[in-house]
Structure formats: structure tokens, C-alpha cells
Structure 1
Amino acid sequence: MTLDPSDDLAAVMTAAAAALKAPIDLGKTLEHLLASVVETVPGVDQASLSITTRDGRIETLAPTDERVVLADKLQYQLLEGPCLEAALSEPVVETPDLAADPRWPQYGPKAAALGFGAQIAFQFRAEPHVRGALNLYADQPHSLDSDTRALGALFAGLVAVAMGWSRQEDTMNQALITRNAIGQAVGIVMERYTLSPDRAFAFLVRTSQDSNTKLRTVAERIVTDVITRAANQN
């Protein structure tokens, strides 16, 4: 559905941006963003995200329809198509007529058989390692225009923000877990060897260096050992 009044469009974009306020549930946020894409972007009937993984695979997230999942999988399997090219190399990949596009002789007709006439994909990056594409599908050929490209690029930027904030939140949570584990281990070492906080921390650092083990791992092992001994005594 295309929104005509600018106030309606502004309301949708404001709601989409509000969904990015941390802390966020990444899965629900992406689903909300892609639902907003379908509601807002002219000519677009379905949407999905293609995300590259560290082991070289590409997977689909937040699809708005089962047909999109099938179309995405076809591109991954056939190694051709807009979402694949955008996720791996090109900033924007568009085809006004999937069935007749000579660039993808295998994928195009199969996508048309699924009911898709046109497609455009926007690459996005979320530092440090996330890269993927926002995939927009239209049922009718030649239904994507300059407004589609402008708003699609905007939503691709919002997706990148969501992915980046989620990563940042995960990093912050991991840092908090590490700090708590080290703090507990310092307390244990202080009591066990009658050391000051500074000397107890230095003990952990030296143990980490001598054993070529991460400081967090050393701390977690000490805490786990104390918990296990206490449980065995009860």
C-alpha cells in the first residue's frame, strides 16, 4: 500500500525510528521495520533481509511472506539474483522485469513463477562485521520508481542501525559479564591468600599470562571451582 499524505509517511518513519531505541529485541525490530517497508515504500509488496555469515553462508531474516523465503533461497542456490549481488558486492541492484532480465536467466523465470515481477536490493553494513541486503519485491513488473529507491535506501540505513545497536548491546553485555566474573574472582583470591585488591588482580593477570588464557576465563574457572566445592560440601 502506498501512503499519499506526507504526514502518514512521517508517522510511519517516526514509528520505525522509535523501534530502534535501545535496548532492542533485534528480531522483533527487524520484523517491524520490514512490515513498515511493505506498508510505506511505493510499489513494494514483500521484503526480506539477506545476511552474510562468518562461514560464508547467506541466510534470510524477517521475511514478510513465504514466497520471499523461496525467492531468496533460489538466489542462494543458483548463485544469481539481486539480493545475492547486493549482499556480496553491489550497493544497489534493481531489475524492473525479472522474467525478462538476461542477467539472471535461471533465477528470473523462477521468481516470476512465484508471482514476482520486479525486485530491488540495497546493500547495508553494520560495523564491524555484519553485511547484507534489504530485498524489496514487487508483484508487478515496472512498478518500482525513484520514490522506491529513495525510501528503500532510507530503510536499509535503519536496518544497519538496528544491527549495529544490537551488536553494541551484545558487546556491552559481554563486558558486564566479564567485569562481574573478574570482580568475584578478585574477592575469592583476596580471601584465599590474604591479598589486597590490587595484588589479587595482579595475581589473576599473571595467571592469565603464564597459562596463555584469557583473563575472563581464568576468573570464571576460579568462581566455578568455588561454587563446585561448596555444592559438594552440602
Structure 2
Amino acid sequence: MDKSSVIRALREAARALHESSTPDDTLQAIVAAGGASVPGFQHVGISVVHGRERIESKAVTGRLVWELDEVQYALMEGPCVDSLRTVSTLAVEHLRHDHRWPRYVPAAVGHGVLSQLAFRLHADDDTFGCLNFYGTESETLQSGAMEIAELFAAQATIALARAIEKDTPAQP
């Protein structure tokens, strides 16, 4: 992806953030823009943490994301879960050969996933959730994919913080 394509994608994402009428619309705009802009990753989702344990998919580009997010939450293993708990950013190439998640990997590979990215979304000391990218066309990261995905993660953090702020009732 060339520089002008990246700039265009980020401009579209910023416009979507500004024009979205609800927090959910904003998050959906982020995943749609991410899926269209990060080379090698066709499926994107944003997961949200409730309390310290419950994780839910808040915006997804399709059924594959929904199903694999649910697998990770049920097993409490996978790139999303690890990015929330231990390492804030994970880039997973050659997923089928990765031994860190012995129960998750067979499910992901069974859905055709070859590579994955996961980014913790946080501001200050608060972790809000995770931005997940699933690749079904290549086992390796394309040039620039990580950097572009990191930019979308930064935008998703802002959007998610704003969504949480809007959904939180004002204290008297």
C-alpha cells in the first residue's frame, strides 16, 4: 500500500469518526475502514472489556470475526486475550504453526485464518478492549501492515474512550 492510499484511508476513518451518530456507529466505522485499509487483513473486530473478565465483540466486519472472538473469550486464550492481559501488541504470522494457543489455533485455522494482529486499546491505566485483525490470504505480514494497523488502533482507542464516556451516566 502506497503512502497516498494510507493517507486516504486515515482521512476516511477520521471522517467516519466525526460523522458517526452513535458510539456503535463510530466503532463500526473504524473496523470497516481498518478492513479496507490494512493490507493482508480482510476481517476486523473491536472487543470491549467489562469489569476485569467479561469480553464482548462490539464491532465486527463479519461472521468470521464474531465466531473467532467468541472462541477466544470462551477458551480465554488467543491473540486478543493475550493482548488484553500480557502483551499489548501481537503480530502472528504462520498462525497454524503457533503453539502459544493450543486450543484456539485449530479453530482459527479451521476458519481459514493464516495470520492475525491484536492491539490492546487503552488510555492511561485503563484497558478498554482490543482491536483484532484476521488475515485469510497470507501467512506473512505485508509491508506496512503493522504500522497502518497501529494507526487504526490509536483511532479506535479514541473512539472507544469516547463511546464509553457517552455511555457512562453523569455523576451528580
Gaps of 5+ in 1: 176-215, 217-234
Q: 2:68 aligns with which of 63, 67, 71?
A: 71
Counterpart of 1:77 in 2: which secondary structure? helix
TM (norm. structure 1) is 0.66
Q: Which residue of 2 aligns with 1:17?
A: 14
Deviation at 1:150, TM superposition (A): 0.6
Taking only aligned residues, the RMSD between alpha carbons, in angstroms, comes to: 2.2
Q: Which amino acid aligns with 1:137?
A: Y
Q: Which residue of 1 aligns with 2:30?
A: 33
Deviation at 1:36, TM superposition (A): 0.7
Measure the CA separation in 1 of the matches of 2:142 and 2:41.
10
Deviation at 1:99, TM superposition (A): 1.6
Q: Which residue of 2 aligns with 1:159?
A: 156
Q: Which amino acid aligns with 1:87?
A: L
Q: Which residue of 2 aligns with 1:174?
A: 170
Between the two proteins, the alignment pairs up a number of residues equal to 172
**1:20–1:161 contact (8 Å) kept in structure 2:** no
Measure the CA separation in 2 of the matches of 1:24 and 1:95.
34
Gaps of 5+ in 2: none
Counterpart of 2:60 in 1: which secondary structure? coil
Deviation string 1:143-164 (CA, Å, 9 cap, x unpaired) is 3145111111111110111122
In structure 2, the CA distance between the partners of 1:121 and 1:23, relative to structure 1 (3 Å rule), is closer
RCO higher in 1 or 2 (8 Å CA, sep ≥ 6)?
A: 2
In structure 2, the CA distance between the partners of 1:131 and 1:88, relative to structure 1 (3 Å rule), is farther
Counterpart of 1:21 in 2: which secondary structure? helix
Measure the CA separation in 1 of the matches of 2:20 and 2:33.
20
Q: 1:137 aligns with which of 115, 124, 134?
A: 134
Is the aligned partner of 1:98 residue 2:83?
no
Measure the CA separation in 1 of the matches of 2:137 and 2:127.
31
Deviation at 1:31, TM superposition (A): 0.8
**2:17–2:26 contact (8 Å) kept in structure 1:** yes
**1:98–1:141 contact (8 Å) kept in structure 2:** no
Deviation at 1:128, TM superposition (A): 7.1
Q: Which residue of 1 aligns with 2:77?
A: 80
Q: Which of 1 and 2 has greater Rg?
A: 1
Q: Which residue of 2 aligns with 1:185?
A: none
Which has the larger helix fraction?
A: 1
Q: Which amino acid aligns with 2:109?
A: A
